[in-house]
A = this chain, B = another copy of it.
Amino acid sequence: MGDAHVFDAAIGLEALADGAWQGHTSPAYGNMIGPYGGITAAQALNAVLQHPELLGEPVALTVNFAAALADGLFVVRPRPARTNRSTQHWIIEILQDGQVVVTATAVTALRRETWAGHEAAMPEVPRPQDVPRSQPRGVEWLHRYDMRFLAGAIPREWNGQGAGESLSRLWVRDEPPRPLDFPSLTALADVFFPRLWLRRARLTPLGTVSFTVYFHAGSEQLRATDSGYLLIQARGQGFGGGYFDHAGQLWNEAGELLATTHQVVYYKE
């Protein structure tokens, strides 16, 4: 057995006696304050996926960041609030020192064949091999991803001369490469740097407060995607009163829509 991938080491959970799980923050995914939110979301989902009563696969996940996680241990409490014949509804809390730091809900379901016809089409872009890799600058978790920007890269200078619009589009995969699964897809849905920074070219302090992923792919499609690149994009919608949101999409190299995502972010000024 080789060493675990850094992502698997980061999202690993240890079963506690009462149906809860113990996890730990990972310096490899460190952000400015506490861990990268995408890793925390992946950990919340992982607690559901490890649960002995799990039914089906993730369809929807909403993670609310109630407080900055402190570096160290935390407890994840997933609870199946309702189990139906083909769907299951989860409430998840992450706690540190007995205080709630994350609330989340998830819907899992047994998927089946139906009519299908994705409407959000992947834009035509150069292949990932033909796009130069962006050099990660700054916080540690950026080094865990291979990002290749096609549009809306992070501003080179924080000079207040922001872009007129906040669309970012990039190829991305885990670094080192790792076969895609639901936790890693969840984490990948949060790699967009804050849309406000693109609009304003100012390093305004901020933090995601609520993050949602809708999963359009089943586990077979994720397995087929393997460790290929994903094309992901996000664009801001409303910015005001201390909060902005964005909406995004994630496709694999074959052009299949794997997930859609939204988040709302607090900002200071």
Contact = CB atoms under 8 A, between A and B. Distances in A.
Interface string A90-117: 1101000001110111010101111111
Q: Helix, strand, loop or mixed for chain A's interface?
A: strand
B239 A117 contact: yes
Given A105-B103, A118-B237, A237-B260, A112 B242 contact: yes
A260 B238 contact: yes
Interface string A47-73: 000000000000110101011000000
Interface stretch (A26-34, A206-214, A223-231): A206-214
A89 B118 contact: no
B210 A62 contact: yes
Contact of A239 (B87, B118, B241, B242): B118
Contacts of A157: none
Interface in A241-261: 241-243, 245, 247, 249, 257, 259-260
A145 interface: no
A105 to B, nearest CB: 5
A264 interface: yes
A199 B60 CA distance: 22
Contacts of A240: 114, 116-118, 216
A239 to B, nearest CB: 5
A269 interface: yes
A166 interface: yes
A266 interface: yes
A82 B105 contact: no
Interface of A: 59-60, 62, 64, 66-67, 81-82, 84, 87, 89-91, 93, 99-101, 103-105, 107, 109, 111-120, 165-166, 199-200, 204, 209-210, 212, 214, 216, 218, 235-243, 245, 247, 249, 257, 259-260, 262, 264, 266-269
9 contacts: A66-B87, A67-B84, A81-B100, A81-B103, A114-B268, A115-B239, A216-B243, A237-B257, A262-B262
